[in-house]
Structure 1
Amino acid sequence: MASSRDRQRKLARAKLDRQLARRAAATRRRRQIQAGVGVFLVLALVVAGSAWALGAFDSEPKQNAAVEETCVWTPQDAAVNTNLKDVGTPETKGLPTEGTRAMTVTTNQGGPITAELNLATSPCAAASIAHLASRSFYDNTQCHEITADGALRCGDPSGSGLGGPSYSFYDEDLPTVPSASPSASPAPGQPPTYPKGTVAMISNPPGSNGSQFLIFFKDFTTADPKYPVIGKVTGGLDVVEKIGALPTVENGTGAKVRPKSDVVIQSLTVGEPVTGAAPPASAPASSPSAG
């Protein structure tokens, strides 16, 4: 009997030892896991603290979108088109995209004619005109056409309709109109696509804008807009209307569109950006100007 009880005690002791060993192993694993989690939390806190110190969690307003704005200036070959004039290209980034820039055009027909270029809808066109104006690109050039659409066409130093800078850029604010009828005529009751006083780019082919622009002296409605809007006249519209009433002569291509009297831009300047709402497109201002 004694030997049997001894064996039972030894077996029970061995069983207890195994249980204790398992518990000890489990405790070690738990402590190891806890230690690993602790290290991870410490590292996370260190990283978060460093990021906070560097301003990663600052609630500063986002930078103006103008910082990231990019305009693409497509090179044009002046050797192929000798009517082009190379005066470099505007900046591609950091361009203003809010508010307006004032454009002032003084001609030999009176003036000044003032307009506001819309930076929100046409930042690249505004940047291009400002760049060209800073290079005196437009000074002493002729407005070579009074278009059948009721606009004065300017901005080509060659006076041929083929001139411009040695780069081009894409359309920005091309008007949208209701679906055209089968005859391609404007929809009934459609408001003017280009209200009197609108300033727009013009290019040939469309979409390859350079320096040429239109100033509308009467409302023009079309089912097929081709001229991207860049702004509107704020003063001197009477001067534009006066020029629009000039007799025209043949321009060398068979079209009777060249003003009989020379219309010369004596100077064109563009002011600094002004933050604020752009003027409404439907009501260009007219102010008396010297004839």
Structure 2
Amino acid sequence: MTLKTNLGNVVIDLTPGKTPCTINSFAFLAAKHFFDDTVCFRLATIQTNGVGLLQCGDPQAKGDGKNPTDGTGGPGYLFDDENLGPQYRRGVVFMAQAGDASNSNGSQFAISFTDENAQLPAAYTPFGVVRKGMDIIDEVVRGGVVEFVDGGDITNDDGGANAPKIRVLITEVVIS
């Protein structure tokens, strides 16, 4: 899978044998251009949130640290978790959902940029590993965070997110 972004391409090796529902959902959404012109709206760092991830896949997100509904959008359907396990090391791409909301995957996903995410509970479907483009993610991380104006961020079930200062616009998702 290739995430074509305004900063360059991020190429992800997928795990269809372990996560067929997840991969089929991404293929369906990509074919419908669901991810086109969406932003990666959340940058959670060890310093700000205790985890290191860049989150994308909310079609309504603004990614400015001000929008209280960032992180609440999706495709209009949910599917079950697959291949669970504490595997969220650097480069792993996994589905994002509220920690207490098992089997509620939609379109949101996260890219881990640190090995320090190993402490995350085995609650998120890992479905790929970044093969090319971690330098882009690292650049975004180095750029810093716009803290969510209402606070809470990743622990807030009502939406809102700490946003990356360097805007990441996904122009297209290609699955080949």
Residue of structure 2 in register with 1:107 after alignment: 5
Separation in structure 1 between the aligned mates of residue 18 and residue 85 of structure 2, nearest angstrom? 11
Matches within 5 A, 1:57-206: 103-108=1-6, 110-147=7-44, 148=49, 149-159=51-61, 160-175=70-85, 193-204=87-98, 205-206=101-102
- Name the structure with the higher helix share: 1
The secondary structure found in structure 2 opposite 1:124 is helix
Separation in structure 2 between the aligned mates of residue 144 and residue 122 of structure 1, nearest angstrom? 24
Shift of 1:146: 0.8
Distance of aligned partners of 1:206 and 1:258 in 2 relative to their CA distance in 1, 3 Å threshold = farther
Separation in structure 2 between the aligned mates of residue 164 and residue 223 of structure 1, nearest angstrom? 23
Separation in structure 2 between the aligned mates of residue 200 and residue 113 of structure 1, nearest angstrom? 14
Higher relative contact order (CA 8 A, sep 6+): 2
Residue of structure 2 in register with 1:181 after alignment: none
Shift of 1:156: 0.4
Matched to 1:200, the amino acid is F
- Name the structure with the higher strand share: 2
Query: Does structure 1 conserve the Cα–Cα contact (< 8 Å) formed by 2:13 and 2:128?
Result: yes
Matched, 1:225 2:122: yes
Matched to 1:214, the amino acid is A
The runs of at least 4 consecutive aligned structure 1 residues that moved more than 4 Å come to none
Matched to 1:194, the amino acid is Y
Structure 2 stretches of 5 or more lacking a match?
62-69, 154-160
Matched to 1:105, the amino acid is L
Separation in structure 2 between the aligned mates of residue 252 and residue 162 of structure 1, nearest angstrom? 17
Matched, 1:211 2:114: no
Shift of 1:173: 1.1
Deviations 1:9-34 (A, max 9, x none): xxxxxxxxxxxxxxxxxxxxxxxxxx
Separation in structure 2 between the aligned mates of residue 223 and residue 210 of structure 1, nearest angstrom? 19
The secondary structure found in structure 1 opposite 2:119 is coil
Provide the aligned C-alpha RMSD in A: 1.5
Please tell me whether Structure 1 or Structure 2 has the larger radius of gyration of its CA atoms.
1
Shift of 1:123: 0.4
Selected match of 1:263 from 143, 168, 171: 168
Separation in structure 1 between the aligned mates of residue 30 and residue 8 of structure 2, nearest angstrom? 17
Deviations 1:102-144 (A, max 9, x none): x001112x22100011011100000000100001100100100
Separation in structure 2 between the aligned mates of residue 223 and residue 161 of structure 1, nearest angstrom? 19
Q: How many residues are matched?
A: 152
Matched to 1:157, the amino acid is P
Deviations 1:233-284 (A, max 9, x none): 111111111112222113344137211232211111111xxxxxxxxxxxxx
Percent identical: 37
Distance of aligned partners of 1:236 and 1:223 in 2 relative to their CA distance in 1, 3 Å threshold = closer
Structure 1 stretches of 5 or more lacking a match?
1-102, 177-192, 272-291
Shift of 1:206: 3.3
Matched to 2:174, the amino acid is T
Matched to 2:84, the amino acid is L
